[in-house]
Structure 1
Amino acid sequence: MCSGPTKEGVETSHPLLMLSVSSYGKTAPPLTSFFATCSVICMFLLAAEMTVRAFFFNIKHLEPVLEDETNRHILSRHIGVDTMSCLIVSYMGWTARHIMQEMYDAVMLGRNNPKAMSKEGYEKRIFQYYPETARICVMFFAYQTKNMYDTIVWDDGPEFIFHHVLSMCVAWGAMYPGCAQFYGPFYLGMSEISTAVLCILANFDEPPAGVTGLADAYPITKVTVGAIFVTLFIICRCIIWPMCSYYFIRDCNWTFENKTHAMLTPSRGRWIRGLQWCLSGLSILQVAWLGQIFLLGKAELVKMGWIEE
């Protein structure tokens, strides 16, 4: 069972630096290990960004777009930090997909496996601690911390700050007091594969967010990356996401039917309710984002002369 950072709920054998799945033990790690690992990951992301920046500097004579320092910095941020981080959590989620096998059985097998995602198993899905998910939470939290710093430095806007804070809260709530880690491999992991491609696509945006001249220099590449993003977005955010959300919200409702459950502490109850409302709002936003994606895609194809307005 998952538990928060209390004396009776935290395993003292966690190492200070947690990288492997086994290092996350059978209960939530102490805060010292959590923040120490997050700090090391943030330093790694900074080093990766500087490495990519140095690489682009060394080959700037090969590509006019790279001659501009700001362009190199934007590319380094989007590739060395954003894309790489999203790919890492996506890979972690994929390797932990066995945790969610029950949901796959419910969706794909249906009546052949009536016990899959049944009410009898909601406690495991809401309260159980999974070291694989815990590792995803730490990586996700660390990436959002670095992302928050970059957002402030690059003045991305308050809406991005709000998004990063909300994302950090979700990862924190999954760890402390610990809830719904069953769903973590998808929400904090595999679903981010579409975001990884979006971060690459962001380089083609108009300045100051994107790289000056990149879209004009590589129009076919922009369209190709955009098509890959739309495909992954539909699969991850418009097909799998609603199914996952249906089961998650149903598990939450079952949880609150038994308010005297020993694991349903007041703190955990508030986090579960907050996650439930956040997920409901985000699920609705997926539809709005899909419409916006198609409108932007159509406008881009019209501008390129591929279709008529």
Structure 2
Amino acid sequence: MYEEEGNERRQTLKGIFVKIVLVVLLIFVLMMLFPTRGFVTNYVDEKVSETGGVDNFNNNLLAMATAGSGYFTASRLPEETGDTVKMTLGEMYDNKLLVEFSDSNNRVCDNNKSYIEVTKDEDEYTMKVNLSCTDKEDYIMLHMGLDGTQFPSTSTARCEFVKNLDETWAYGEWSSWSTKKIVETSTNQVQTRVSKVQTGTQRVAHNSVTEKAAVKVIYNGLTKYVCAASYDNAGTYDNMVTCKKTVTTYTDEPIYKNVTYYRSRSKTLSSGVDTKWSSCDDTSLIEQGYVKTGEES
């Protein structure tokens, strides 16, 4: 009887122990599947901060581009092909083009390494907008044709513009540069440029003169001064003279000539309606005769 009671007690304790182990395991599994509120909050805050940092950088970069597009109009563009004009972020602050901004680390961006640089190429103007901050450094490029007056806006809002083309003339694309002469007509516009091209070489003489005192000789009691036959003033003299010799050297030097290059574009009579989508504040389209339809995207 006592033995049976002991077995029952051991079975009961064993059952309780197993239940406790199962409860502990269940709690552990639940903690793994469902993180604490603090963990979730910190994780979300971290991701939001990362996304906000990218958005903040992009917004600052676009703000620089927008200010630069408004500043670098026709009168401030470089005049010669290959020329560049530059303005640093610090100079933009000084000229009141921007208010000072900070990056995602709440630190100001580099005033000298951040800049806008406009270059005149053969076929277009390019604007490089570079932003250097503690969290990131990157740049964007804007492009404008040589006949443009303002770089395109970086505004994200886009509007529909239309232009009535009936009985209007419009130019096509420029042809490639060629040495073949093109004659301008009422429907064919021509541009030219002159480049210096090497066509060969030529030997060029360079003369230099060396000097040496005449050699003193005594002949039959008479003192004479002699310049050897290799000298220009070879001979015998009664008085001291300086012997002179001309030395000629040659170098190969390039021969250049000016070559004229031509390119053209044709003007054709258009009809119908031309539709363009661009930033809502694109003044260049307005200047070309386009009007807004009121449609936005």
| Greater radius of gyration (CA) | 2
Q: TM-score range by the shorter chain?
A: under 0.3
Say which structure is richer in helix: 1
